[in-house]
Copies of this chain bind each other. A is one copy, B any other.
Amino acid sequence: MSVTLSQVAELAGVSSATVSRVLNANYPVATETRARVLHAVQTLNYELNAHARALTTASSDMVGVVVHDVSDPYFSEIIRGVQQVADEAGRLIMICNSLRDASRELAYVRVLRRQRADAVILVGGAIGDEAYEEKLTSHMQGLEASNSRLIVCGRSRAGTASVNAQHAAGAEALTRRLLDLGHRRLAFIAGPAHVGTSRNRFRGFKRALATAGITPEPTLMAQGDFSRDGGYEAARRLLRGGERFTALVGSNDLMAIGAMTALRESGLEIPGDVSVVGFDDIPVARDVTPALTTVRVPMRLMGARAMELALQSDGRSRAAINLRTEIVERESMGAPGS
């Protein structure tokens, strides 16, 4: 159906080897011959077949990136970083959404193995149990056996090259900051329980409370799905619960922003009645009113670093890069009752 190399060769009156050489520019071809070939390529509107090419060269110039959800700014920012480095290196990236489903994620990894991706980058917290981790290990070995590799980004994993940020430490520092301001009744909106990032941030929160000698109250804990609407609903549940709190910690910015809207709808002032803080520092965090205090995760940088690891041809490096997070104080946080 498609035009093939040999059709081009025939039209140009040369062998297919010559056409291949013109197209790849890796072998001397006489100027006049080259011109004739290029003309034939034009005439037939020919385009190389990447599959046939990959079959002989055993490489695809493609890196697979599996994220939880491209429409979540956390991930789209990471993707930006990945892509920038990929572009510079002339690599294509193939982006897949797992929607936080472990089996879908594994399915995508399989497909990427089949496509002989030069590397696979798994972005976002781990989302499965031990069986899932085992399968991942098997895929990793399979990738490495074909001279490819697996990188994780936004999570850490034993024996796997990784780029991560300090989720627990960041949450702990931010919570401590709230405690220092005098807050004692802190609400928390956790992310999905099966997501590693979510658990780590919660851990940091609890650690700060423990250090301050405060026992986290179950009635002040809610859970969302890391989406804006999830945060909104979680906040409404907290409010309906009737418990008072002077600060609310969202385990990501998206949920914190949804929660702010819910609080405002209940007539609460931010930060006067309730301080609200988030996590990630997605771009829009500056634009909500009051601007959101949060923990900055260097998302683009994480993506860039992950891609750099993916491109390392030396192969077997198991670098575990851990990037610092940093508190960004904006107007949504204040002393209680201020």
Contacts and interface: CB of A to CB of B under 8 A. Distances in A.
Copy number in this complex? 2
A124 to B, nearest CB: 15
Among A115, A142, A288, the most chain B Cβ lie within 10 Å of the Cβ of: A115
Given A76-B70, A257-B287, A289-B264, A45 B141 contact: yes
Interface of A: 1-3, 45-55, 58, 60, 69-71, 73, 76-77, 79-80, 83, 92-97, 108, 110-111, 113-116, 138, 141-142, 145-147, 228, 257-258, 260-261, 264, 283-284, 286-289
Contacts of A71: 73, 76-77, 79-80, 283
5 nearest A-B pairs in the assembled complex, by CB-CB distance: A289-B289, A50-B114, A2-B146, A71-B76, A51-B54
A51 B60 contact: yes
Nearest to A256: B287
Most chain-B CB neighbours within 10 Å: which of A46, A77, A92, A141? A92
Given A76-B70, A77-B71, A261 B284 contact: no
Given A70-B70, A79-B71, A92-B96, A228 B284 contact: yes
Nearest to A95: B95
